[in-house]
Amino acid sequence: MKGRDLAELALRNLRESVLRNSLTTLGIGVGITSLVALGSLGVGLQNLATDRLAKSGVFDAIYVAPKTRTPGFGREQNPGTNPDTPPVPLDADARQRLAKLPNVVDVYADIRFPTEIHFDGKPYQTVVAGVAELDKTEGAFDSVKGSFFSSAAADEAILQIDFARQLAPQQTDSLIGKELILRYAERQALPPDPGSKDSEPAGFSVVSKDQPLRIVGIVDTDPAGGFGPYGRGRLFIPMQLAERLRATQANDLRDLLRDTPTKRNYESLTVRVAGASKVKDVESAIKNMGFAAYSILDATQALQQVFAVFDIFLLIFGSLALVVASLGVINTLVMAILERRREIGILKALGAADRDVSRLFFVEAGAMGLLGGIIGVILGFVISRAINLGTNFYLARRDLPSISVTAVPWWMIVAAIAFSILVSLAAGMYPASRAARLDPVQALRYE
């Protein structure tokens, strides 16, 4: 029998016992609903986690540090090299070489230093972090109240909300536009020692300096969620300004002990790459240059594994309802065989092959699966929206920003309907083969 004739006969049969078939279809629909609702929660939570990381701009960033010979400090060792070979210095030259690597968009120092802020006549201790211009567009400061820095060298500051609450506990928004004084320790080069033939100065001095800044914005969240260069930073200033300040940093004392104490070495550099897909290649190029390199991609792979396991658990629980629904399909079709026994006999007497009969039952099962899948996807979508609404209602009552905890991507819709059809077809296998094996002589005698 041709496909169209088969479909017409199957739909006619389904219409015959409309109540029973509708209930069976609804059963499949409920199974798919639970799958889609739980699946959307899994995907939504995964998106929530990965979006935050992606928005932090850390996906296209590689953190570069000099290789250390001191084991156990978390930095990458250099197992292939002679331990007597000094590590490649991460200095201005290295920075230029890194900037020239293909697909590298920007290279900047990770500038973070402790500071004392003077605001409204009171001192506050905090940590300052330099922010790259790239982050204006890459989402780390998406939720900023006020604005991003007007330029890469502007005397401006963005406050993290916790720090802003310290400055103005009741009305943080009123801080925007106000001035504060940033007091920091500046590193100043000493003049060369006149008694020495060597023109190189013996070190540098550290001087207290004040830098007035205008507050232009406040960020609700911790940019980068604690990862990368902004981790633990509570006051953010433009990167060029941060470099210009020449604030003393943690590794400056180590510079003193080098042969060239005034030549600045970076503790670490951030290399920004043109897209996350290029990170791997650039990372290995940097490692080949003799530096330690680390990217967040390594961490997200582990995160994806965790979510994959989480999704599997959600799908297993969601599938339980579908297992019950598939038993309903088997029951409905077996009942249909009993009811249509004589009809199957007639069909066979008229020339229907066993294959035609089994295909007829398969198409009926598949049609119930298709319809159940569509119903399930619609209901699942509605429930996932409801979960979102409920979550955001709860968050809004606690003055927290709204989020999307569920997501129904197009592939989930296609997969849910395909899965529904597959499960229904699998459930229809036994009834279909039983119908096909029916002895026509016996079936025709059946009243």
The residues that touch another protein, with contacts defined as CB under 8 A, are 1-2, 5, 9, 12, 16, 342-343, 346-356, 440-441, 444
Question: DSSP states of 154-168 as a string?
Answer: -SEEEEEHHHHHHH-
Closest to another protein by CB, 11 vs 256, is 11
Rounded to a whole number of angstroms, the minimum distance from the CB of residue 441 to another protein is: 5
Rounded to a whole number of angstroms, the minimum distance from the CB of residue 340 to another protein is: 10
Closest to another protein by CB, 92 vs 441, is 441
Rounded to a whole number of angstroms, the minimum distance from the CB of residue 335 to another protein is: 17
What's CA 92's distance to the chain center, in Å? 34
Rounded to a whole number of angstroms, the minimum distance from the CB of residue 350 to another protein is: 5
Tokens, residue 401:
């920003």
Closest to another protein by CB, 399 vs 447, is 447
78 Ramachandran zone, left/alpha/beta (phi>0; psi -120 to 50): beta
Residues 378 and 28: their CA atoms lie apart, in Å, by 13
Closest to another protein by CB, 254 vs 342, is 342
Do 225 and 59 contact (CB within 8 A), yes or no?
A: no
Question: DSSP states of 268-288 as a string?
Answer: -EEEEESSGGGHHHHHHHHHH
Residues 348 and 14: their CA atoms lie apart, in Å, by 20
Q: How far is CA 401 from CA 40, 67, 221, 261, 398, in A?
A: 20, 41, 10, 48, 9
Rounded to a whole number of angstroms, the minimum distance from the CB of residue 359 to another protein is: 12
Closest to another protein by CB, 400 vs 441, is 441
Rounded to a whole number of angstroms, the minimum distance from the CB of residue 344 to another protein is: 11
Closest to another protein by CB, 220 vs 343, is 343
Residues 423 and 324: their CA atoms lie apart, in Å, by 11
Closest to another protein by CB, 12 vs 232, is 12
89 Ramachandran zone, left/alpha/beta (phi>0; psi -120 to 50): beta
Tokens, residue 311:
């999704």
The amino acid at residue 112 is: R
User: Which residue's structure tokens are 């129904």?
Assistant: 408
Rounded to a whole number of angstroms, the minimum distance from the CB of residue 3 to another protein is: 10
Residue among 134, 139, 138, 161 nearest 235 (CA): 161
